Amino acid sequence: MTAFDIELVGKIGSMALIDKANNDIDYNVIARISRELKPGYMWVTSGATEIGRLDYIHRVGNELKGDYADIKTDYAAQGQSILLETYRRFMDSRYSLRQFLVEHQHFNDPMKREHLKAALLRCPLQGAIPIINYNDPVCSEENRKMEIQALRSCHSKVVECIDNDETASQIACLVRPKYLLILSGLDGIYTDIHNADTLVRHITGSTVEEVIENIEYYQHYCDGASRQGANGARAKLEYVKDPVRQGTTVLIANSKYGIRDVLEDRVPYTKISVG
């Protein structure tokens, strides 16, 4: 039987945190998630850039203009504190909240990787909940690509962390959770995104190799992404292969559902596991 270090690593996408009708944070979603967080859960959250964009528009009346990379940096820097403050507002006051801003180097460098792992695993022992996000405000896209290219010349496998689906999967590889929960605007993986009846409820197999083969089968049905810079369901399925290999059960579900509702099988979702 596989031994797990923690119960759950969870991730929510940017657009799942936005109230599109009012161009604002969807406080109901963050409140519901925050109230369910507890020691033994680690939460990867997108949303800083989009929340920063909306906050800037509300204050100034227009969007920033100029280079996309610079604008993303500025919005992310503005949105990060708002995002964390919102989680803190609704989280159980008995628990500490700890922010971790990560970059690809924290997963590709063995020393940094072990430092991050140790810090994360201290959290449940100390009654703290880690909130994790990619460090967009200080990450230069051009510099990141150069660093990744250099790493690939020396290593067969390199972590890029090009979005938080990959970040969440890499965190799961670090801390070995029983579950990796990925929340988005859909109920899971579909063979036809336009037909709700084609939701894939379980991707499984008798061995890890069979599960990976079945993941690759369903990747052929996946296309599209929810926003610029995202990579869609196909990439999600690619990123979760490593957590599945170590025995973690992956759950892909809709952000409108509660964490316990998914874990206790009360709502539709896609489950990926051996057996």
Task: Note whether 226 and 13 are within 8 A (CB).
Answer: yes
Q: Give percent above pLDDT 90 in the chain.
A: 77
Structure confidence at residue 155 (pLDDT): 61
Give the count of beta carbons closer than 10 Å to the beta carbon of residue 89: 11
Percentage above 70 pLDDT, the chain: 87
Q: What is the pLDDT of residue 7?
A: 98
pLDDT exceeds 70 at position 140:
no
pLDDT at 227: 40
Question: Is 1 domain-assigned?
Answer: no
pLDDT at 1 (0 to 100): 46
Q: What pLDDT is recorded for position 224?
A: 52
Residue 90: which CATH number?
3.40.1160.10
Query: What is the rounded CA–CA span in Å between residue 231 and residue 47?
Result: 15
**Spatial separation of the C-alpha atoms in residues 41 and 270, rounded to whole Å:** 20
- Number of structural domains, the chain? 1
The chain-wide mean pLDDT, for the chain, equals: 90
pTM, full prediction: 0.89
- pLDDT of residue 150 exceeding 70: no
Which amino acid makes up residue 246?
A: Q
Whether 193 is in a domain gets the answer yes
The answer to the question of residue 2 being in a domain is no
**116-122, long-range: CB < 8 A, 24+ apart:** 116/174, 117/174, 117/175, 120/42, 120/171, 120/174, 120/175, 121/5, 121/6, 121/175
User: Can you tell me the mean pLDDT for 154-170?
Assistant: 77
Whether residue 79 lies inside any domain: the answer is: yes
Alpha-carbon distance of 197 to 182, in angstroms, equals: 20
Reply yes or no on whether the pLDDT at 225 is more than 70.
no
Enclosing domain of residue 38: 7-272
pLDDT in tens, 5-61: 999 999 999 999 999 999 999 999 999 999 999 999 999 999 999 999 999 999 999
Per the domain annotation, does 158 fall within a domain? yes
Is 26 contained in some domain?
A: yes
The string of pLDDT tens digits covering residues 53-84 is 999 999 999 999 999 889 999 999 999 999 99
